[in-house]
Structure 1
Amino acid sequence: MRLLAIESAGGAAGAALLSDGEVLAEEWIEESLAEGRLLVPLIDRLVARAGSRPSDLDVVAVDLGPGSFTGIRIGVSIAKSLSFALRIPVIGLDRFDLAAFQAGETLGDFAPVVDTRRGAVACAFFRRAAPGEAAVRLSADLSLSPEELARRIEESGGPLTLFGSGVEACREALSRFTDLRFAPAELALVRPGTVARLAALVHSGRDLSPLSGHQILDSSQSDALAPIYLRKTAAEERLARGSPA
């Protein structure tokens, strides 16, 4: 099985090609604002470098978010188009499930936290009981203010590890906690290879019920692939308030 994975929910973008459980190639673009212009040529390059053609692909997978509105929209659109054009299934994955999978050495209760701007962060809470075990979800994906996150942590009542770009955005609200642990922020920056590996497990039929859920659709249903947005865009919020766009 040859699986193409697309990651663009975090602002930057990239892709990976996996075959029979092994990541053959992975490439990353640091220029977040240019991802729409550069992501398709990157995918073409990646597939060619692995000695393949688009017609050799069996599955395409994508990070559905939450995260960058623009990045999610671009990644999901490309995944839908490839699924439809190549007549292959498409797998959509939750960004926080991906972050939990990527943070495989993080034990106990933990939460990836992403800065979504405009005074809010997105996060989800997980628990991993022992090394090598899958993480279990303790919450749905959440959009919270820093103070709401602090209250949620108080209610949890136990040791907690946080990581991701949202930690810095919540630094003041979190300063009253003395028992929080912090892992490197990079753990929440999902790599394309992580998308590929988790999508391969989904495709294999492995029971991933402890996680939030995923979408797997055949090519005739690919247009139903749904991005994960936890809040309205800035333009939608202005429209709801009756302010000019």
Structure 2
Amino acid sequence: MDTSNQPLSVAVLEDSRVLATETVTVEQKHAAYLAPIIERLMATSGVKPADLDRVVVADGPGSYTGLRIGVTTAKTLAATLNIELVGVSSLQTLAANISHENQLVAVLFDGRNDNVFAGVYRIHQGVPTEVTADAHQPFDQFLETLDKAHESLIVLGDTAHFEDRLVAQLGDRVTVLNPVFSLPQATQVARIAQQLPAIKDVDGFVPRYLRLTKAEADWQAQHPKEDGHSYVEKI
């Protein structure tokens, strides 16, 4: 499942075979839609809860609320059914939409205030492998990283506010894809997870936020000498 941004995507697979999948793009009401979609897809594919052996979730970066909904649902399923849990980068999931072998792919989400959540991947045997770690950073800093690559690259994600600057800096080395290629697909989340180990500590698994929430940042600003590592617990 992927609830990390406005689109909501869920899929049920048997090994590599897709049994059922659904993606909703027009509403960001993941708390209301996620459970019914899961139930419907399992019924459609003839899968019962006891048949599941692994749950996979896009764990960020992305919308704080969306990530919490997806990760909480995944943890609940994993814990109650005693099955494996795997987290996959939301950026890597989009990079998996590109299949050209050895292609350099940059994925970015708008982080507001001219910041981005971004990562760079290279397609290897059909799977995006990390070139630079996912990070929250100023767009200009990310642009410098891309410029240093000195090779052609594909950019996808929330590109609308950044396309002009990408082209101005990188010229014909960059291809900014149509938004249709930036639609997350739960089938890609599952495909990437096939090569990843299960989370050992299900209870301790948290989303990959990559930055503090506004509440956490405000708390740390007001308490500069206090340890903010476990903000929620302290409050």
TM score, norm. by length of structure 1: 0.81
Identical pairs, percent = 28
Displacement of 1:225 in angstroms is: 1.8
Match of residue 217 from structure 1 = 199
Match of residue 177 from structure 2 = 183
Within 2, Cα distance between the matches of 1:30 and 1:134?
25
Within 2, Cα distance between the matches of 1:19 and 1:150?
40
Displacement of 1:95 in angstroms is: 1.6
Within 2, Cα distance between the matches of 1:147 and 1:198?
29
Amino acid of the structure 1 residue aligned with 2:13: L
Aligned residue for 2:19, secondary structure, equals strand
Match of residue 60 from structure 1 = 55
Indicate yes or no: 2:26 matched with 1:44. no
Aligned residue for 2:141, secondary structure, equals helix
Indicate yes or no: 2:76 matched with 1:81. yes
Displacement of 1:40 in angstroms is: 0.8
Match of residue 193 from structure 1 = 187
Q: Deviations over 1:61-107 (max 9, x none)?
A: 11111111111110000000001111111111112222222321375
Alignment gaps of 5+ in structure 1: 1-5, 203-213
Amino acid of the structure 1 residue aligned with 2:160: E
Within 1, Cα distance between the matches of 2:18 and 2:2?
14
Displacement of 1:32 in angstroms is: 4.1
Indicate yes or no: 2:149 matched with 1:156. yes
- Return the structure number with greater relative CO, CA threshold 8 A, min gap 6: 1
Contact 1:72 1:227 (C-alpha < 8 Å) held by counterparts: yes
Within 1, Cα distance between the matches of 2:35 and 2:83?
18
Match of residue 72 from structure 1 = 67
Alignment gaps of 5+ in structure 2: 223-235
- Superposition map of 1:137-148 within 5 A: 137-148=130-141
**Paired positions, count:** 221
Indicate yes or no: 2:174 matched with 1:173. no
Within 1, Cα distance between the matches of 2:105 and 2:57?
24
Amino acid of the structure 1 residue aligned with 2:217: E
Displacement of 1:144 in angstroms is: 2.1
Amino acid of the structure 2 residue aligned with 1:181: T
Contact 1:23 1:196 (C-alpha < 8 Å) held by counterparts: no
TM score, norm. by length of structure 2: 0.84
Displacement of 1:24 in angstroms is: 0.5
Within 1, Cα distance between the matches of 2:55 and 2:67?
15
